[in-house]
Each structure stands twice: as C-alpha cells, then as structure tokens.
Amino acid sequence: MEDEKKPDQLRGLMDCVERKVVTGLRHGYFEILIRCETTSRGMRRVIVRAGRSYKFNVQENEVAR
C-alpha cells in the first residue's frame, strides 16, 4: 500500500481519484473501491483501491464543512 505523503492530502486524494477515473474511461472499464475511516486522532484515513492501493490521511481541518 502506498502512503501518499503530500502536505494537502485531500487534494492528493481528489487528484488520484480523478486520474483513475479518466484512465479507466480511456480503457473502457475500471473498478475503484474507496474506503474511509476515522482514526483515533480525528483524521480521515482514506484508501483508494484501483489496481493497487493508495492511502491518504486527511486532516479534519482539510474537510470543508
């Protein structure tokens, strides 16, 4: 599992999902699973599975209310 170490994890997550969808549309097929859980520190751990796994740890303050 690859842990994406970007200062803006939410932006990295959104970019990853967009890339996977666009690539899948080009190929004509794709399957993506996105899982989210809240950690004990209030962060959101998001795992994107699309061929391989990508892990993002999104700070609570990055999420728009």
Q: Which domain holds residue 15?
A: 2-62
Please report the sign of the dihedral spanned by the C-alpha atoms of residue 61, residue 15, residue 29, residue 48: negative
Q: Whole-prediction pTM value?
A: 0.80
In the structure, what pLDDT confidence band is assigned to residue 1 with cuts at 50, 70 and 90? low
Cβ-based neighbour number of residue 55 at 10 Å: 16
Segment 27-47 shows an average pLDDT of 93
| Whether pLDDT at 65 is above 90 | no
Number of domains in the chain: 1
pLDDT bracket for residue 32 (50, 70, 90): very high
What's the pLDDT at 36?
96
- Mean pLDDT of the 10-38 span: 95
Give the separation between CA 48 and CA 7, rounded to whole angstroms: 18
Average pLDDT for 33-52: 94
